[in-house]
Amino acid sequence: MNFYKKEDRKKIELINKGMGTSHRTKPYDLKKPEDVICYTEMITAEYMDMKSYLCWLQDVMELYDDSLEYFHPDIWINLGSGEDESEYSEASYILTEVDSVFVELVNKAEQRCYDAWKYVFESNFIETHQHFFDEVMSIDLEIFDRIFEETILEIVNVEYQYNVIKSAKAFAKILKERILSITQL
């Protein structure tokens, strides 16, 4: 697992000291349940943040497209053709480019989130399960993919938290509900 370069760690330590923050400066040891918890919380919160930003961006893109269609139909009908070089077309192009970048960020964050949660179940640390689910949850890893995908689809309905622990707990709650719905069949 990649972590910060030595120079960056020193800068982060200075920021922590000067601003009173507590950004992590050492790698996670995934043989320790407390590190698995912290790592999973951070990865999950990052994914949920990125997913929220992408949804908001796509809402803005749709609203902007509607505005162009309504207020500037001449520009709207020529979007993407290269015939219009107005600021409106440029804004549409830039939004599309930013969207592509965020789709990539979300995909990468989702993969890390998947890996982290799969590890939670593979590692079988009782402390980790208790932290996220208030009980030990067992799952056949063969159906984990399906449960994770269902959780991902449902996560868009969760109110944005902007809090690492609350985001991870919200994700874990949905994951637990999905597990229980499948294992009780």
pLDDT value of residue 59: 97
Q: How do the pLDDT tens digits run along the chain, 185 residues long?
A: 557 888 988 898 999 899 988 888 889 999 999 999 999 999 999 999 999 999 999 999 999 999 999 999 999 999 888 887 899 999 999 999 999 999 999 999 999 999 999 999 999 899 999 999 999 998 888 899 999 999 999 998 888 888 999 999 999 999 999 999 987 76
Residue 11 domain-assigned (yes or no): no
pLDDT value of residue 2: 58
pLDDT value of residue 183: 77
Give Dmax over CA atoms of the chain in angstroms.
62
Residue 25 domain-assigned (yes or no): no
Alpha-carbon distance values, 164 to 5, 44, 131 (Å)? 23, 8, 14
Non-local CB neighbours of 105 within 8 Å, separated by 6+ positions:
50, 54
pTM here? Answer: 0.90
* Segments forming the whole domain that contains residue 87: 32-183
Non-local CB neighbours of 5 within 8 Å, separated by 6+ positions:
none
pLDDT value of residue 1: 55
pLDDT value of residue 145: 93
Amino acid at 25: T
Residue 92 domain-assigned (yes or no): yes
User: Exposed e or buried b for every residue in 23-33, given b needs 16+ CB within 10 A?
Assistant: eeeeebeeeeb
Counted domains in the chain:
1
Residue 165 domain-assigned (yes or no): yes
